[in-house]
Every structure is written in C-alpha cells, then in structure tokens.
Structure 1
C-alpha cells in the first residue's frame, strides 16, 4: 500500500511540477515604410524542472523583402518557490533587426518546434511595408532617432550643423553607439558626442518622451547640388517589459528589484534622411580675388618694424580669425615689390570647436629682407568673405604697408653684423668673457667631487632610458601576445568549423565560423570579443588602415553567417567550404597588415 501511494505521489508530483514549454513570435511593428527597420522576435520559455536542452528553432527567411542588419540572442533565468520546491524558468530570445526593402504585404510563416515529444508552433504574422517615408520620423514608436538642421537650404562652404537626438519611452542602459556615415561631397567634423547624456522630457502627441542629444556634426558642402544625408544607425541597449506565460504563477522573484518586469534588448535604430539644397555663392558683388571664405571673420596684417637697414629681416604677419570654413579657406596673396627678398611663409592654424561651430584663426608669417635703400611699399592686402546670414560679401583692407630702409646694397647686411668679443670692453667686473677651457688647479688634480657631479647624472639618465625601453618592450609584448592569441583562437575554431562541414548540422557550422571570424578580428584590433558590435569593429579596422575592400568582404562574410544562422538556406558542402576558405583568405590578408 505504502509503495502504491509513493508511486502515485511521484506521478502527481511530476504532473504538478513538470516542465512547461512555450514559443511565440512577435513584431515590434506590423506596419513599416521601405527603408525603415523592424524587429522580428522569437521567444522560447521553459518553466519547471527538466533536463532537456532549449531547442533551436528554424527561423523563417525574410530575404525576399528585408535585409538582416543586426541580431542578438539574450537568455535569462529566474527562480520561484511553488509548494516548497524551487522552480526554474529559462527564457531564450532571438531578436532579429531587419531593414524593410520592398513594398508589399508579407506573411511571416509559422515556426514549428518539438520539445519533449510534443509539437509547438507560433501564430503566423503579417507585415505591411509601405512606400518609403519622406524622411520624417515616426513618433508613434517607443524609440526613434531624429536628425535636425536649422534650415533646408545652405550656401557652398556654409556650415551645416546637424543635431542627432534620441527619443525614447524605454530606459536606455548605455551610451548609444552611432555609426559614421559617408558624407559625400562635404567636409565633416564631429562637434560634440557626449559621454554622459543630458536628458529632458518632451510631450509628443500625448506621450511623454525622454530625449537627449547624442551627436552634433558640422558639415561644409563643397559644391552646389542637392545634398542627401543618409541615416546614421544608433545601437543601444534598452529595458523592455518582460513577456510572461499566462500559465506561470507569479513569484517573489518577479519583483522589479530582481529585474522580473524588465529585460535588456539591443536595438539598432536608424535616423531619418535629410534632403538639403546647396546653393552656389552669388556672383553679384563677388570681389576680385575672393578665395572662398564663408562665415564671419576679421582680418589684420602688420609689420614687425616700419624702418630697417638694408639686410635687416622684417616680418609681415597676416591673421584671419572668426568662425566658418577655416580648414578649407585660403589666406590672401601678398604682392612683394622688387628689391625685397622674401622667404616662404610659415603658416599656423589654431582651429577649435564647441558644440555649435568651428572657430579659431589662421596665420601666415613672411620674412622680408630689403636689398636696397629707400621706401618700400607693400600694396594694400585685401581679404574678402561671404556672410551667409547677411547674404553678402565683405572686404577688409589693410592699406599700403611701408618700410623705410636705410643704407644701400654696398653695405651688405647693414648693422646686423654680429658683435665680436673685441667689441666688448670690460668695466670693472661687470662683464667677463666665458672661459673656453677648463683650468685645473691644485697641481693638476681634479676636485674630489668632480666624478660624482659629472658621472652620476649620466648613470641616472642611462638607468631612466633603460627603464623606459623595458616598459615599451613590455607593452609591445602585450600587443604581440594579443596578436598571437588571435591567430591561435581563430585556428582552433576554424578547425572545429571544418570538422562540421559534413556533420549534417549546418547551424553549428555557421555559428562556429561566425564566432571564429568575429573573435579573431576583435582580438586583432584590441577590442573585447564579448559583445563587440560591427560598427565598433569597423571603426577600429579603418583606424588600423585595413583596406576598405577587405572590410567590405568581412562584413559580407559575417552577414552570410548571420543569414545562415537565422534563416533556412542551402546545406551544400561546396558553399560552406567556399565560405570557410574566404575566412581563411581574409585572415591571411590581415596577417600581412597587422
């Protein structure tokens, strides 16, 4: 009897506390515009006691209308107490960020999955992709990025200030990472990219958003044309409400303090597109000799002396200060009259920036050497600039600059002959010539502290030099260790990927190949292989002077792995082998560079 009761208890206990499984698929938006991103998410959850592993779903292929631009696979666990027993809940989420490319109404098919002998499936989803938007952001979303300018029309070389702002109804847990687009046809400069966000609240259509400036950029267009500023991609981690299975009883550990109500998701959000018109500078009123300066400036010129002797050097100093296109503008030309020897000018730029504009000064210093006597006249120097706010040209003029030169060429270098020792007359003990040799007294013996005072400093300098060299060698060794580690890690994982070519498990092959490639390049450029994002890796590779073609091939390879991981595809041996060989070739080329 006792045995029967025990058996019945175990059966009911297993029924009461057995594992429950669920799978659901969702879209963050069921209507998007072409060129806009959407997130397809599949969440798997196991509640209860089980030794079974979390199954891996085969995700639908959306390549026919969307491009996969990002992915993450967060996993979380929580615990609860039911009738005195600890129950574990495991949640695995596949977050796929897509860029909608083609208009139309699309069905995302059902995902089928088996777990512990039972069949599960998701509900089919529908997504409507409408015509590309006009560039305005959609405030109905809970997270978006907006690029703003003060106006829509600018002149050539006029500063365009773009403010990138993030708007969110969700909690952001890190500083957003912002991609750097190719600003074609313009000179660009980042004015501000705060390391700590200053937020404020704003009401948009009845919703209270939190907003912050995440980047400010200055652009200087080089030609008159329609200018399209492509979107930046902003990657950030946000807190979103956790999804719960209705059948699971809420536990103590679901409290906000334990993170039960929120989980972290990585979002990749594009900004809006900006379409600007760049106008040519007006021809009416354009001064002769205008060199392209646009902004607000002050110009000055001066001589270091108004009188000199033949052969004496006189400096002519030009200075432009203000705000505008200082980097690309040119200082005015100077007409030097005959009878004056002039050397190439020494130029000096002091260009600074704040969160709103580029400002500073540019200087040129000419050395003039008169070779004849009389009055030398440097014609008036003119500097012209265009003020885009006033929409007119301004000219600053110095007037003629004159030098009165004494003597003539027969006097050579005039009074600039160096003074020799014979010209110096000793007055008492006021002036003494420095002795050119060392006089040894005391019968030819050196002072007792001579070696201490002269040799010890030399030894100390030598010791310091050796110490610095050792430090540099240690740093170099660390770099070498990191580089060697990259190769050994890649070799180990590539061998494992090669062993999976004919395993019948294409998913494992692509996972291992993706991991090997990403970790190798991360270690090579000195970033953590854990949590590295493509934008960060790309910037580091560009800083290492890696060829753009190699970077493009690397991006294509990682995307191919991601497509194969998250969408059903071919399992042909030749395709996998070609991709493996491509990775080996990329690593071989990189070894020659880094």
Structure 2
C-alpha cells in the first residue's frame, strides 16, 4: 500500500517537471518573391532553448539592406505537462539588386552551442511588386540628362501617395563626381493635390539639388530612400459598424520602405580645347569694377570693388588676379556671395573688395580683370573683362588720412591767473523780531522730508539707471583717447577695438558685432559724406591690417589717425 502511494506521488510530481526537447534552429522569410522596392521579414527561431539566440547578420550586407531589427520574441506553451518554448529574432530587409539572391547560412549561438541555418533563396523582380507600391513612390526628375563638364543639372525629388502617411526617415542621394548645393533644403513635407493618368495623388517636394559635374563620363546619382508609416484599413467582417464614422477606429499603421530610381547623367567634355586663361567657369556671367575715388594722396587708402553676376557654377572657379602697380600696397580681398533664392538655377552676385594704399605720387593704371567662361547654351567659350582704371596720386601730404603728429606745448602757470574774492567781509543776518523761530518749523520740515524721501530716492535711482547710457555717451571720447594709448596687442587690433567701442557708445548700439558696413549704415545721414568715407576706410584698414600687419607702412601712424578721427567724429555727433 505504501509502495503504491509512493509511486503515485512520483508520477504526479514528474507530470509537472518541464520536459525540454532537443534544441533546433530554423530560418524563414515572409515572402520568397518580392520586388526590388519591397521589404520582407527574415526570422530566426530557436525551439526549446533556455536562452535567446544571437547571430551576426553582416553576411547579408552584400545583397540586402537591414531596414530595422532585430526584434525579439519569446513564446512558451504547456501541452500535456510538457513545456515547449521558442525564442525568435526578426529583421526587416530590402533587396539591393534584382534577380535570384540567396540569404547565406548563418551561425546562430544559443548558450554555448553554435547552430547553422539553411540558406534561403529569394527572387527579386524588377517590377513594382504588389499593389501598395503604386500607391506610394518617390520620383527623381533631372531637368537634363546630358550636360557639359561644370554645367548645372537640377534634380527634384517628389513623394507621391494615395494614402495617409508620415515620413519617419529619409536617406539623401550620394553624388559621386558632382559638386552639389541645396536649392530646397530638407523640411517637413507639404502635400498638394495632383493627378497622374486620371488617378488622384498627394504630392510633396522632398528635396531639390543643383549638381555640377567635376568629371566626364556617365555618372550615377544614388536613389533617395525613405521609410514611411502608412495607414491601412484592417480587413474585417461586415457588421453593424460598417459605417464611415467607425472606419477610423479600424486603421493600422504599416512601415513601408520606398526609394527613387538611380539616375544616370552623361557628362560631355568641352567641344574644343579651353583657352589658357580658362579657370573652370561655366554659365553666363557679367563683371564690372570701380574705385571709390580716382584721386587720392600718398598713403591715402581707397577701395577697389569687383562685382561678378550671373548663373552657373559660382564659387567653383577663381578670377584671374589684377595687375597692380609695384608702388601700391594691396590688402587681400574680402569676398561675399548673395544667391537668388527664388530660382532653380544657381544665380547670384559675388563681390570682392581690395584696399589700395599708394606709396608714390603719379598716375597709375590698373589693368582690366579678365574672365573666360564656357557658355553651354551656345557651346562656345566667351571672354569678358572689366574696364581699365586710372588712379591719380597727389604729392600733397595734407590728405584726409595723413598722419597728423601733434606737438607738445609748454603750459605757463602765472600766479595772478586766479583772482580771489574778498575774504575779510563778514556776513550779518538781519534780525526780525516778528519772524517764526526755526525750532518751531523743524518738526514739520522733518516730517515732510520723511514722507517724501522714498519717492525722491526712487526717482533719483531711476534717473541714474536711465542716464547710464547717456553718461557712457558723454564720456566716450575720453575713454577712447585713454584706451588708444594702451598697447594690448598690435596697433591695428587696438585701433579697431577703440573705434568700434567709441561708435557703439556714441550711437547707443546694443551689439558687439560691428564691421565697416554696419558703421556706414548707422552713421549715414549723421555726419558728412567725407567724414563717413574716412570712417569706413580706416575701419577696413584696421580690419585688414590685423591679418597682415607687417606689410603696411601705415602701422606706426594708425593710432594717430584714429585719434584725429575720433576728435572729428565727436565734434560732428
């Protein structure tokens, strides 16, 4: 009897002990036939495993792109007292080329054991695939497919959809062999309605780029890819809720991967050998130059302006340098570029400014600047140039910008300069018996003072705070003349700092980012034109001298020039 009970207890306990089967690893895909633009799921399952599997999927990189994953899942079931477990990893993949592709055998580690999966064959078709692709696609459209070296091609990428969606991520195309500039930068997609062959679509422009080839031949632009979350309706049985009002309650979101076509652009060489002075300019351009003034004195600075306007590969070529006279010091030019934002063609204006300081008197001719460019519209090289300029330099040293060294004068103190008033006079108070005693009025005066003291103190504090800028304005010249004598760094940096600091305090400016252009804008209509030109040119000389101070002979006199300028400014402002 005891033996039967012991056998029964062992049987009952054993029925609740999990019985693990043999560990096995399998691999599978959601579809064996897909289109090139269609994603599919790849899944690895480990049955009866105590631990989650781990696998290296890098061997997939040659034929497939991993869109997302791995996603982990664990499933445990009890059947007749036995436990069956499965642990899985899944990825979303995209085929990189069409044809018959294989997912190779992968090594899967479960605990201390390593298992191999079977290879899986995938057929990738060139067509659009299943129906959802026609409802969602990216169009890549170049404005031309055959261009010359350096000629612009504009590529526009647009997203077409027939369903509601949100764009999760975008991978922009790679342009090997092109120099590119964004015409329409990335931003939130804005959809408009359109039709294609009578079918309604919503379309949004995702990206627009101006591309300039840097080599000849057939160049490829890789596709733009995007991952979108698309709303789709769940299939369900018809019932009482088959009403448009309830349709939104049965929507689900699916992750879709889409990409544009690969573009191939044919880049042709120039029809004939370019001229010797050709520097790579392609497009249509115009150029002009001018001097601020054509008559100056020795050591008096003037500015040479160059303006290059047109449509083409601006910022990708260099202008031929000017031929300046030997007795003229020239600072490196400052350049600026302003692009026309409302045109698909790269159009704009490029400006250069040279500061010139003649060191000898005479008549100097500045030779023209020459630009040779290729015009793709007429397939010919063209040459344009500026007009020659003549600069007259006078011998007189009384120019506006000449150093003016101030001499020292002796100050004589004469004892009789100050006449004192009489000190022996006594002041007598006239007594008035009828006057009220001060001791009687003092309590009233004290009470009134205590009552008015907070109001008076507040007014004084507010007036002092409001007049802080006013005091800085009045003392600007004194502070500037004191600072100009200090040698903190080189003379150009010190002069520039003092000049900008003085004008900031004098004009109540709230910014520290000052340059000659801002000075000209703020001082215009406040001082004479001659003094304004003097301020701007000296500011440019100081800014330019900070980068090449050793090349200018004006270095020793710049502080004297700034001192005289500050005094003249203070008399005018």
2:35 maps to which residue? 32
- Distance in 1 of aligned mates of 2:267 and 2:294: 46
* Alpha carbons of structure 1 residues 140 and 239: separation in structure 2 relative to 1, 3 Å: closer
Provide the secondary structure at the position in 1 that maps to 2:310: strand
Shift of 1:256: 5.3
Tell me the number of residue pairs that the alignment of Structure 1 and Structure 2 aligns: 351
Q: 2:326 aligns with which of 326, 338, 346?
A: 338
1:393 maps to which residue? 381
Are the equivalent residues in 1 in contact too, given 2:155–2:209 (CA < 8 A)? yes
- Distance in 1 of aligned mates of 2:269 and 2:262: 23
Shift of 1:231: 0.9
* Alpha carbons of structure 1 residues 451 and 146: separation in structure 2 relative to 1, 3 Å: closer
2:365 maps to which residue? 377
Find out whether 1:259 has 2:228 as its counterpart.
Answer: no
Shift of 1:376: 0.6
* Alpha carbons of structure 1 residues 302 and 154: separation in structure 2 relative to 1, 3 Å: same
Provide the secondary structure at the position in 2 that maps to 1:141: helix
- Distance in 1 of aligned mates of 2:254 and 2:284: 46
Provide the secondary structure at the position in 2 that maps to 1:384: strand
- Distance in 1 of aligned mates of 2:224 and 2:207: 10
Find out whether 1:453 has 2:464 as its counterpart.
Answer: yes
Q: 2:123 aligns with which of 96, 121, 128?
A: 128
- Distance in 2 of aligned mates of 1:394 and 1:320: 15
* Alpha carbons of structure 1 residues 65 and 186: separation in structure 2 relative to 1, 3 Å: closer
Are the equivalent residues in 2 in contact too, given 1:290–1:385 (CA < 8 A)? yes
1:307 maps to which residue? 295
- Distance in 2 of aligned mates of 1:187 and 1:337: 37
* Alpha carbons of structure 1 residues 63 and 404: separation in structure 2 relative to 1, 3 Å: closer
2:171 maps to which residue? 179
* Alpha carbons of structure 1 residues 151 and 307: separation in structure 2 relative to 1, 3 Å: same
Find out whether 1:216 has 2:208 as its counterpart.
Answer: yes
- Distance in 2 of aligned mates of 1:155 and 1:315: 37
Give the stretch that moved more between structures: 371-380 or 265-274.
Answer: 371-380
1:366 maps to which residue? 354
2:402 maps to which residue? 417
Are the equivalent residues in 2 in contact too, given 1:176–1:214 (CA < 8 A)? no
Find out whether 1:160 has 2:160 as its counterpart.
Answer: no
Are the equivalent residues in 2 in contact too, given 1:142–1:168 (CA < 8 A)? yes
Are the equivalent residues in 2 in contact too, given 1:191–1:354 (CA < 8 A)? no
- Distance in 1 of aligned mates of 2:352 and 2:124: 58
- Distance in 1 of aligned mates of 2:61 and 2:148: 42
Provide the secondary structure at the position in 2 that maps to 1:259: helix
Q: 1:291 aligns with which of 279, 282, 285?
A: 279
* Alpha carbons of structure 1 residues 388 and 200: separation in structure 2 relative to 1, 3 Å: farther
* Alpha carbons of structure 1 residues 232 and 198: separation in structure 2 relative to 1, 3 Å: same
* Alpha carbons of structure 1 residues 305 and 362: separation in structure 2 relative to 1, 3 Å: same
Are the equivalent residues in 2 in contact too, given 1:385–1:393 (CA < 8 A)? yes
- Distance in 1 of aligned mates of 2:282 and 2:215: 13
Are the equivalent residues in 2 in contact too, given 1:242–1:260 (CA < 8 A)? no
* Alpha carbons of structure 1 residues 195 and 105: separation in structure 2 relative to 1, 3 Å: closer
Provide the secondary structure at the position in 1 that maps to 2:349: strand
2:64 maps to which residue? 67
- Distance in 2 of aligned mates of 1:243 and 1:101: 32
* Alpha carbons of structure 1 residues 138 and 243: separation in structure 2 relative to 1, 3 Å: closer
2:188 maps to which residue? 195
Ranges in structure 2 where 5+ consecutive residues have no aligned partner: 1-28, 44-51, 72-89, 104-119, 408-456, 473-573
* Alpha carbons of structure 1 residues 259 and 402: separation in structure 2 relative to 1, 3 Å: same
* Alpha carbons of structure 1 residues 154 and 413: separation in structure 2 relative to 1, 3 Å: farther
1:431 maps to which residue? none
Provide the secondary structure at the position in 2 that maps to 1:276: strand
- Distance in 1 of aligned mates of 2:230 and 2:335: 49
Are the equivalent residues in 1 in contact too, given 2:39–2:256 (CA < 8 A)? no
* Alpha carbons of structure 1 residues 356 and 455: separation in structure 2 relative to 1, 3 Å: closer
- Distance in 2 of aligned mates of 1:301 and 1:160: 30
- Distance in 1 of aligned mates of 2:181 and 2:463: 56
* Alpha carbons of structure 1 residues 126 and 167: separation in structure 2 relative to 1, 3 Å: farther
Alignment of 1:533-572 (within 5 A): none
Are the equivalent residues in 1 in contact too, given 2:191–2:202 (CA < 8 A)? no
User: TM-score normalized by structure 1?
Assistant: 0.50
Find out whether 1:350 has 2:324 as its counterpart.
Answer: no
Shift of 1:357: 2.9
Shift of 1:106: 8.2
1:121 maps to which residue? none
- Distance in 1 of aligned mates of 2:465 and 2:323: 55
- Distance in 2 of aligned mates of 1:155 and 1:138: 40
Are the equivalent residues in 1 in contact too, given 2:288–2:387 (CA < 8 A)? no
Shift of 1:362: 1.6
Shift of 1:142: 2.5
Provide the secondary structure at the position in 2 that maps to 1:294: strand
- Distance in 1 of aligned mates of 2:91 and 2:202: 24
